[in-house]
Amino acid sequence: MPFHSYDYERLSKAASRLREERWRKHAPIVSFRTAEDTGELGAQPPAAFDAGELRTGDIWSGYDRYLWLDATVEVPQDFSGSLWGRFDFGITGGGGNSGFESLLYVDGHPYQSVDQNHQDVPLHAQPGQELHLQFRLWSGLVGGGRPHPNDHKVKLAELAILDEGVDSLYYWLLCLLGAHRMLEDNDPEKQRVLNLAVKAWDLVDTSDLESDAFFDSAARAVEFLEKEIPEEQKKVVVDLVGHTHIDTAWLWRLCHTHEKAARSFSTVNRLMDEYPDYIFLHTQPQQYDYIKHDYPEIFEHIRRRAAEGRWEPAGGMWVEADCNLISGESMVRQLLYGTRFFEKEFGNKSTYLWLPDVFGYSAALPQILKQSEIDTFITTKISWNDQNMLPYDTFEWRGIDGSSVITHFITTSSPGEHMYTYNGLTDAVAVKGVWNAYRNKELNTELLISYGYGDGGGGPNRDMIEQGRRIGRVPGMPGVRFSRVDEFCEKLHRTVEENRRHAYIPVWDGELYLEFHRGTYTSQAYNKKTNRRMEFLLRSAEEAVSRAMLRGADVSAAREKLEKAWKTVLCLQFHDIIPGSSIREVYEDCHVMYGEAEALAREAMQEAAAADGAADVLTVWNNANWSREPVVELPVDLAGRHVEFEDGTIPAQSGNAVAVPLPPEGTKKLLVRNGPAPAAEGCATVLAHGLETDALRLLWNQSGRLVSIYDKKAGRELVPEGQEANALTLYEDRPREYDAWELEYSHQRKPWELPAPSRVSIVENSAVRAVAEFRWTFRKSSLTQRMIVYPHKTRVDFVTSVEWNERETLMKVAFPTVLHSSRARFDIQFGSMERPTTKNTSWEYAKFESVGHKWADLSESGYGAALMNDSKYGYDVHDGVLRLTLLKSSNHPDYTADAGLQEFTYSLLLHEGEWYEANVDRESWELNDPPIVFQGSAQLPALFPAELPGVTFDAVKPAEDGKALILRLHEKEGRHTSVSIPTAFPFRSWCECNLLERLDGEAHSGKKVQLTLRPFELKTIKFVL
């Protein structure tokens, strides 16, 4: 066309007006009775209401305020047709993150959420019928930061009749105009779809918008479009699944999530009544469990929909958990408890892991998924990378042991953005955009969109479903169908396996590292420390309960306690809780919940150990599968007393610290005797500014930093000349966005060294250890550090206590070394992995901060150093320097993040040989899981009494079903190995099983378990008792 007709602009305005013009009749609801609400979980409508009222036009305010509205309305006699309620009570926002939400009850039953994104409510009532409408309004919080009231306004409350012809025309115009906007200028369908919209609009009589002529002509326009745009097969097809991402906690507390789930789920049920083709996915059994207990009526609706196949309860994990910080066994339990819940409550088996919003994915995950009967992984988050885009969207993801799963990225995004979203739409931008962004077009032509409002829940609304019903028919658009995710995954597997397009099938080997949100390795130190402590405590408690089970004790109550404790820990591993990106109130709740979980685990362990409480006997238990000789801190006051072994031998001891040799999985009794322990020489020589043992010499300067760490056994100096180790340094922490989430490379540009310590003193020099204490005061904070060395060991512990009162400040510790290696090794779930120490490429540069669990090791051939820790995760190992990030104090969303007392320990281990020859993993175990001490004689015999090099026992526990014992272990050195595991308890047979404890191996009756493992392979053994 040689001139511009402005049809697109004209019709866009016309369509926007139709949104209101489609309502034929209106009956205002002018006022509501009110009642305040204390916020009780699952609250039902109150029996009485206040004398006050809330009227249209009124303002209501609050922070975390619940308010009931009540009105009984009669449907007008002339209201025949499609009856709806329309309500606008406040501002919610697209993500449901900080504003108003409400749950509507109709005639006493939970009916549908009403919020800014769900203002229209279908009401199936006849003229003259009364409806009792009750709304439980919630003011919302403020999206992080300091609390303040939110102001909301009652703008609209009415009954209305929807004209279905105008309504349909409205959605057709949205789809046609959206397609015109999205199609390329040279696409022959671009002008055609606009012409169809123009022609349809030409048929609409707008001379009187309240007349039958207007409504009848709109219906004829729809008939025209449906005739001109028939259903047809298309080469590219997009599956649509309704979805609402509800963060288990984030900018709201866990208690608020109970209510968010109830609102969202009631809306899904309501829309399913209206749309038989509507299909909805929701993950996270934790949230279903909330609803089961708080809103049983809603839960029964969900069960019915699931039985119909329209509600898909799936996704794998108990919550959508962080996959950087939690242990391998926690990942197993996330999947075990998640799978068992879905199967028990809905009869549905998860075949895929759905984690669209998690901040990176461990290379241990593919093996864990495969052994949990999950063969597909779906996410979006890696598209948020700030340096490099992963080159694939459909690929085989291979883990550290060689296992692999098919992985697919949902590629929905907005024009011009590279970040994919799980909160998709169903308009032309989404449906065409998901194909435009997809990087594996040569392999696959069937894609997936999860649509619905989310983060704070809400889910799909009728706008999305109505557009989804039409957009696939529009010329130039991909085809569309409403589908389940498990069906999409089945088709994707067939596509990859058959590969009829003869395409290259990509393989990504190793972790899916998110080049973003690196600060989440450090934020909220308390949760990270307590999570790790609880993971080890639960391991110990389960081992103790297993022993009680084997001696015939009734352990049903203990198992219930452990399951409850586990589920609390799993809940708090949600991907906005443990990473440290939630509001202050969430972490206040975590303190309480962790305390309850710890009490349950300790009760179960103490009962199972059956210690007799004898005052003069202590039992020290080593639950590791190797012998140890740690320094054990006894929980008793030994002033004027000492301890000895049963044979009368007196171990080295100082105060309540005792060196105790322990057999694998075994115990050692200590007898408390009157009188002090025999005098013994100190293990170190005190130098003017240093300590020297038979293994190490440490020298420090006036700044309290180490200028020499000399390994006497190897005859090697670690610290480069002129440099300083154990260098505690502050950095500016003011990222460009996402305070708690981000750690940017630029922080290195502004370091602040601590001043010289105010005091340095030798506070202990015994046969057990020598301790130098350093005290610093800086800015608004203070730090006390005990530097500990041991006889015969090349390990130095740095036990640190900080009264931390800094804001927008990061603290790191650095150990520069003379070591030169282009790669370092990091402890991760069920193994370890290497990462580059260089920055040769943008991919290497992007990993300036990366995740390690208990240790990171930098080694040359034959010699190295490991930096270990008891509660930290953020490592920076580059250019011969081992760094560990210790504290981060962001202002948002928690404006008091990490303020107050922080206690942690990190250690440096110098070693000859390879990292595995030096037992780096075992040394790090000492920091994280010291032997457990019981008062009196405890019944904790070794079950597998042998030194087993090369493997780690991850769990010894009662089986979930039946009378059986589970042993889980992994190969930890990165090489093929064979192990022979002796047993010291009676059983009928043993066999290998998967992580769901389902059998997949032949039964054996031998008393030794013979296994062959590949590098980092995970094995689970079931002993039938």
CATH of the domain at 959: 2.60.40.1360
pTM of the entire predicted model: 0.97
> Do 928 and 852 fall within a single domain?
yes
> Do 257 and 341 fall within a single domain?
yes
| φ, ψ for residue 153, nearest 5 deg | -125, 135
> Do 750 and 832 fall within a single domain?
yes
pLDDT digits (tens, 9 = 90+) for 894-940: 999 999 999 999 999 999 999 999 999 999 999 999 999 999 999 99
> Do 192 and 289 fall within a single domain?
no
Domain boundary among 516, 551, 583: 516
Domain boundary among 516, 535, 554: 516
Q: Where are the alpha helices (H) located in 421-524, listed in sequence order? A: 428-437, 462-471, 485-498
At residue 275, what is the residue type?
Y
Helix axes 428-437, 164-182, angle to 10 degrees: 30
Instruction: Flag whether 674 is in a domain.
Output: no
Domain boundary among 932, 950, 984: 932
> Do 588 and 717 fall within a single domain?
no
CATH of the domain at 560: 1.20.1270.50
| Of the candidates 752, 750, 753, the residue with the CA atom closest to the CA atom of residue 705 | 753
> Do 863 and 792 fall within a single domain?
yes
Query: Which neighbouring-strand residues pair with 759?
Result: 775
CA distances from 922 to 628, 866, 913, 950 (A): 9, 12, 15, 11
DSSP state of 478: P
Please return the burial class of 1008, using the count of CB atoms within 10 Å of its CB with bins 0-12, 13-18 and 19+.
middle
* Token pair listed for 186: 């040279």
Query: Which neighbouring-strand residues pair with 776?
Result: 783
> Do 969 and 835 fall within a single domain?
no
Residues near 648 by beta carbon (within 8 Å), at least 6 away in sequence = none
Cα distance between residue 703 and residue 701, in whole Å: 5
For residues 943 and 550, the answer to whether their CB atoms sit within 8 Å is yes
> Do 499 and 392 fall within a single domain?
yes
User: Looking at residue 999, what is its pLDDT?
Assistant: 83
Count each helix (H run) and each strand (E run) in the chain, helices first: 17, 55
Range of the domain at 575: 521-616
For residues 869 and 904, the answer to whether their CB atoms sit within 8 Å is yes
For residues 319 and 286, the answer to whether their CB atoms sit within 8 Å is yes
Cα distance between residue 293 and residue 532, in whole Å: 29
Instruction: Flag whether 193 is in a domain.
Output: yes
Backbone dihedral region of 6: left (phi > 0), alpha (psi from -120 to 50 degrees) or beta?
A: left
Instruction: Flag whether 9 is in a domain.
Output: no
Instruction: Flag whether 131 is in a domain.
Output: yes
DSSP string covering 127-164: TT-EEEEEEEEE----SSSS--PEEEE--EEEEEEE-H
For residues 409 and 457, the answer to whether their CB atoms sit within 8 Å is no
CA distances from 132 to 72, 106, 153 (A): 4, 6, 22
pLDDT digits (tens, 9 = 90+) for 110-127: 999 999 999 999 999 999
CATH of the domain at 318: 3.20.110.10
* Structural domain total, the chain: 6
User: Looking at residue 1001, what is its pLDDT?
Assistant: 78
> Do 768 and 864 fall within a single domain?
yes
DSSP state of 68: E
Instruction: Flag whether 2 is in a domain.
Output: no
* Token pair listed for 233: 């097969």
DSSP-based three-state secondary structure for 709: strand
Q: Report the first-to-last Cα separation within the chain, whole angstroms.
A: 83
Instruction: Flag whether 643 is in a domain.
Output: no
CATH of the domain at 146: 2.60.120.260
Cα distance between residue 873 and residue 868, in whole Å: 10
* Token pair listed for 834: 């290497």
Please return the burial class of 343, using the count of CB atoms within 10 Å of its CB with bins 0-12, 13-18 and 19+.
middle
Cα distance between residue 47 and residue 302, in whole Å: 27
| Of the candidates 162, 163, 165, 164, the residue with the CA atom closest to the CA atom of residue 219 | 165
> Do 374 and 479 fall within a single domain?
yes
Q: Mean pLDDT by 10-residue block, N- to C-terminus, for the chain (1025 residues)? A: 83 97 97 96 93 94 97 96 97 88 97 97 97 98 95 97 98 98 96 97 96 97 97 96 98 98 98 98 98 98 98 98 98 98 96 98 98 98 96 98 98 83 96 96 98 97 98 98 98 96 96 98 98 98 98 97 98 98 98 98 98 96 96 94 96 96 96 94 97 98 98 98 98 96 96 97 98 98 98 98 98 98 98 98 98 98 97 98 97 97 98 97 96 97 93 98 96 97 96 93 91 98 96
DSSP string covering 802-848: EEE--SSEEEEEEEE-S---SEEEEEETTEEEEEES--SSHHHHHTS
Cα distance between residue 433 and residue 413, in whole Å: 7
> Do 691 and 745 fall within a single domain?
yes
| Of the candidates 813, 910, 815, the residue with the CA atom closest to the CA atom of residue 859 | 910
Cα distance between residue 305 and residue 57, in whole Å: 38
Instruction: Flag whether 505 is in a domain.
Output: yes
Question: Which helix H or strand E contains 535, and what residues bound it?
Answer: helix 525-550
> Do 468 and 508 fall within a single domain?
yes
Give the number of residues written for the chain. Answer: 1025
User: Looking at residue 2, what is its pLDDT?
Assistant: 62
User: Looking at residue 93, what is its pLDDT?
Assistant: 80
User: Looking at residue 413, what is its pLDDT?
Assistant: 86
Instruction: Flag whether 661 is in a domain.
Output: no
Residues near 29 by beta carbon (within 8 Å), at least 6 away in sequence = 56, 71, 73, 133, 157, 158, 159
Q: In what order do the strands lie in the sheet with 667-674?
A: 641-645, 667-674, 617-621, 932-935
